Chains A and B, each alone.
Chain A
Amino acid sequence: MSSRANKMPIALRIVASLFVVTWVLMAAFPFVWTFWGSFKVELDFFSIADWTNALTGPRTQETYGSTFTGAGYHGAWVEEEFMRNVINTFIVCFFVVCTSLTFGTLGGYALSRSGYQYTFWLLIAALIFRAMPPITLVAGYMLPFFEWNLWGILPTTIIVLVAINQPFTLWMLHSFFQNIPKELDESAKVDGCTQFQAFRHVIIPVMWPGVITTGLFSFLLAYNDFAVTSMLLSEGNRTMVPQIAAFLGTTYTEGNIMFAVAAVVSATAPLFVLVMVFQRQIVSGLTAGAVKG
């Protein structure tokens, strides 16, 4: 980057830096603010008198004798048994990621190695499925699931999320497998392997970077879903996100909004860790899709 073309006038450099700082603040400040506020009482976090109350917490001091309180967390985790929803979320995410990666690697590998015309049409169908809002399908699930008594339980939701996830997973892994040279498995087949053996012994050992990246996005889809989980899970089986939505319905009236704030912060924490650990994979996954685009 030493070329003259990249030397910037100082004014432009300052403007750009300011813009970056502003953007980082826009992106991060809401989370910091909510995290800080989740340890306050409602009258401080939503202060009519003075906005600095949310920072200093005089009411919290009055009520609990300290400017920080875990009351919101206690309310959410103990009184409302948020733990159950957390466990449900992780069950759902774990099985969705595992199943959709298994299905997706097999399918994506097949699509990348078959030269027939139907692979094109299958990919186009997947693209159309990817474009449809998942909620449009929910009306179609309801009646059969009620009839067969499948509604409300976790396995149903898991398989539905797996299916909704497939189009994206297929596209990602298809383009990933295409970058693995065909000669690798061809030579294994020449040596007498069947296609599956070639996949098992030659492709599986080298596919993990792509699979992990795809898995991250599968996880995000399952973790972040609201439309499907809120419609297909019964009250006792709710995952975190529909439970937070349910908090809103009751807490605005009962004045326990801090429960919802604490639950929101709790649900954000795993995502925070995820970005911290897998930042590089997320970025590469996003750009891989674009370069193929």
Chain B
Amino acid sequence: MKHRTFFWFFLPTGLAMLLFIAMPIVSVVTQSLFTPHEAVLVTVETCTPFSCAQETTIDQEATAALREQSPMGRFVGFDIYTDRGHLAFSEVAQAWHSSDSFGEFLKQLNNLPFYRAMGFTIVFVFVVTPLVIAMGLLIALAVNTVNARLKGIVIFFSLLPFVITPLIGALVLFWMIDSRGIIGTALQWMAGDPSLSLKASTGLMWISLMIYGVWHAAPFAFVIFYAGLQTLPMDQIEAAQIDGASRLQRLRYVIIPHLMPLVTFVALIQLMDNFRVFEPIVGFNASAHATSLSWAIFNDLGGETRQLSSAAATSVITILGVALLLSPVLVRTWRDYKGKV
């Protein structure tokens, strides 16, 4: 295809991505270097016949004019990145020096909003992703053994948690684990503690969020692994069996290696998707116990005071995190591509 033709074909999609993905990234980066103007203060001396009093007021007009003149705010460089709401260098240094043990240090770190969000995001990513893969594989192996006529129905129900709107899925589960909901009541009965409430405990809330994560994503892994199982090399399995391999050994040495490329694929998609964990925190109303990077951005942007600069700084750090997470894949793709050319 000629460059010219390619250009015209690619123009609409390229323009959309340039204007609404690439430009906003630039905009976010710049935004994160500026902070809103402080109000312009004026001091007026008002004298009565008896005394004079100085009064400091906000000069609304001048403030508005300044904001009008440069809507981005004033340039502060990397100050927003290092303030208490983000990387909090001075607080971290202080925590490092004042704490006796590493655990103590982590505890202090957990009081800083950014590290709290970062902590949950990372734990969520690295707990949920392997569990999703394991769960998906187990379901796929089990479904592969059931009656062929039932498979359609099983796949139909399995897809529901996956296609459901994340916020709605989270709400549906949340209403069930509510202390007055069915699972909440069941847990109270099992634990023999009528005051047990998932909403009150940070640990239980984290577990609930992760269970939601697995419930939501396992169908995705299942469908992909199930498709992979349909293309199993039968001759290899039979050969393994003739050589005396047990069922478990065949799973370990034939089936899993066969599915390995799919496992990598699912892991990659899950890393990206779990890193943006956000809706369950809103749905579970869990922000008192767990926050994520996406939630922190959302929280800054919402509400009456839209803290654009703070949100922008968190966004930039998040994008860098994603890039870091994705870098092994990019390097591999690049090598493959080099090899092909």
Nearest chain-A residue to B230 (Cβ)?
A287
**Contact residue among A128, A226, A274, A276 (Cβ-Cβ distance under 8 Å from B279):** A226
Please determine whether B175 and A47 come into contact, CB atoms closer than 8 angstroms: no
**Contact residue among B153, B180, B228, B265 (Cβ-Cβ distance under 8 Å from A46):** B180
* Interface: A190 (CB within 8 A): no
Q: Interface digits, B127-171 against A, CB 8 Å rule (1 contact, 0 not)?
A: 000000000001101110110001011111111110111111101
Please determine whether B10 and A164 come into contact, CB atoms closer than 8 angstroms: no
Interface stretch of the complex, out of A4-12, A56-64, A68-76, A78-86: A4-12
Q: Interface digits, A222-260 against B, CB 8 Å rule (1 contact, 0 not)?
A: 011011001100000000010011001000000000001
**Contact residue among B27, B71, B165, B178 (Cβ-Cβ distance under 8 Å from A271):** B165
A103 with B16, Cβ < 8 A, contacts A135-B298, A286-B224 known: yes
What is the count of residue pairs linking A and B with beta-carbon distances less than 8 angstroms? 298
A19 with B139, Cβ < 8 A, contacts A48-B180, A129-B21 known: yes
* Interface: A3 (CB within 8 A): yes
Please determine whether B138 and A19 come into contact, CB atoms closer than 8 angstroms: yes
* Interface: A140 (CB within 8 A): yes
On chain B, which size bracket covers the interface? 35 or more
Contact residues of B: prevailing secondary structure: helix
Please give, as numbers and ranges, the residues of chain A lying within 8 Å of B293 by CB-CB distance: 133
Please determine whether A51 and B294 come into contact, CB atoms closer than 8 angstroms: no
* Interface: B315 (CB within 8 A): yes
21 contacts between A and B (CB under 8 A): A4-B238, A23-B158, A24-B157, A54-B182, A104-B13, A113-B1, A124-B334, A129-B21, A132-B322, A135-B278, A135-B315, A136-B297, A137-B28, A139-B308, A140-B312, A143-B71, A166-B17, A224-B163, A244-B168, A248-B285, A261-B175
Please determine whether B308 and A143 come into contact, CB atoms closer than 8 angstroms: yes
On chain A, which size bracket covers the interface? 35 or more
Nearest chain-B residue to A217 (Cβ)?
B163
* Interface: B275 (CB within 8 A): yes
CB of A24, distance to nearest CB on chain B (Å): 5
Please determine whether A140 and B322 come into contact, CB atoms closer than 8 angstroms: no
A20 with B139, Cβ < 8 A, contacts A164-B21, A245-B282 known: yes
